Chains A and B, each alone.
Chain A
Amino acid sequence: MTTTQHTAPTVDGTTAGTATYVYAVCRQLAPAGLSALPGLAEGFPVRALRCGTLTAVVQHVPAADFTQEAWEQRLSDRTELERCARAHHEVVVAAAAGGPTAPLALATLYRSDERAREALGQDAARFTAVLDRIAGHAEWGVKVSLPAGSPRPPADPPPDGARRDAPAAPGAGRAYLERKRGLHRAREHRHDQALRTAEDIDAALSRLATAARRLRTHGQELTGTAARRQILNAAYLLPHERAGDLAAEAAAWRARTGAEIELSGPWVPYSFVGEV
């Protein structure tokens, strides 16, 4: 079911044993920059496929190498996963150089160009709406992190430490317990504050943006550092001329909160094409 063999070339350019991989959909496409890219299957050109008023960016790929099983293998291999993700991204970026481009998720495959044209054509209204929405915009990634903070006793004794109605006995046990509780409270306090900082920064940046999305925060296993804790991972859809405002706002929050605020972009608006 997953592998499709074609025995003969057809009018739409389908060749034997190939499937049609779709990278993105745009309005117009200057295919100049595309044909030089390897895409996911070297030897097969990355090209434009006209679908009514839209243009899809596609490539023939060997069908046998693009089955569910093949993908499972491929994506379980970190090197291959990286190669595929970057190859897909590279084509999307090249296509976007020519105008608004809606990227498709990795691994969208059709049996033939004709089938791709048919399926994409059915969704033409959705694609058009998405392209309208992202025209003149780019996505910016924002990651905010704070020092992870080593647990240490609060500078002042906890407030309820003042409630010393019990007979003196300044036992080591009580002091010990209070210190432990103080540590726990300090940790909770830091956590609450971090969440509030994240919300404040997100709210401020959202005001500049046409749309905003929260992404999953990266744990320390992904950021690769134990020294900082990521408290916000978000994407903002910004008109091109607003990029400077975002950078300025980020700098202001950096100064105000001491948080590390990392911007990435401009991205093709991956995070803003999924739903309209």
Chain B
Amino acid sequence: MTELDQRPGAPPANGPGTTNLADILERVLDKGIVIAGDIKIDLLDIELLTIRLRLFVSSVETARKAGIDWWETDPALSSRAMDSELRAENRELRDRVAELESADGNGNGNGSAHSARTKDTAGT
């Protein structure tokens, strides 16, 4: 983590090797002036499909080795994780509601059951 490499007034001087690779990549690949070259290099295809994937895979492996399994459990991380969590939660809720309704027979839980179903369709 570079906290603050601050030299006010100094010319831009991010030293190679000291700078976060992701920071460099997002600038060198995504930014900079794009002009047509003679030799057509379609970096966009490579960049989006391959690089991001590689970066992702390698860091996921690192994370997995470190025993961090956030990508499977953190609902904020991916919509898929979010969906499956919501679905599991809704299944749980519906079962619970059905159980309660059949137990007391008066359908008291209707309001809640309805909102649980609404969430289900909204979340998937």
B102 to chain A, nearest CB (A): 11
Interface flag for A86 (CB, 8 Å): yes
Q: B8's contact among A141, A226, A244, by CB below 8 Å, is which? A: A244
Interface centre among B10, B12, B42 (most CB of A within 10 A): B12
Q: Write the chain B residue with the least CB distance to A271.
A: B31
Q: Are A76 and B54 in contact (CB under 8 A)?
A: yes
Rounded to whole Å, the gap between the CB of A176 and the closest CB of chain B is: 6
Partner of A262, one of B2, B27, B39, B96: B2
- Taking a contact as CB atoms under 8 Å apart, the answer to whether A104 and B33 are in contact is yes
- Whether A229 lies near B32 (C-beta < 8 A) is no
A16 interfacial contact with B, CB 8 Å? no
Report how far A155 CA is from B112 CA in the complex, Å. Answer: 21
Given known contacts A173-B100, A221-B71, A81 and B39 CB-to-CB distance under 8 angstroms: no
Chain B contacts for A108, CB-based, 8 A: 34-35, 37
Of B19, B56, B71, B112, the contact of A264 (CB 8 Å cutoff): B19
Question: How many residues on the A side are at the interface (Cβ–Cβ under 8 A)?
Answer: 89
B37, A109: Cβ atoms closer than 8 Å: yes
Q: Are B68 and A268 in contact (CB under 8 A)?
A: no
Instruction: Decide yes or no whether A60 CB sits under 8 A from chain B.
Output: no
Q: Return chain B residues, CB-CB under 8 Å to A119.
A: 35-38
Which of chain B's residues have a CB closer than 8 A to the CB of A270? 27-28, 31-32
List chain A positions with a Cβ less than 8 A from chain B: 1-2, 4, 19, 22, 25, 63, 66-68, 71-72, 75-76, 78, 81-82, 85-90, 93, 96-97, 102-111, 115, 119-120, 123, 126-127, 130, 138-139, 141, 148, 151, 166-167, 169, 171, 173-174, 176-178, 180-181, 184, 187, 191, 215-216, 218-222, 224, 226, 229, 240-241, 243-244, 247, 262-271, 273-274
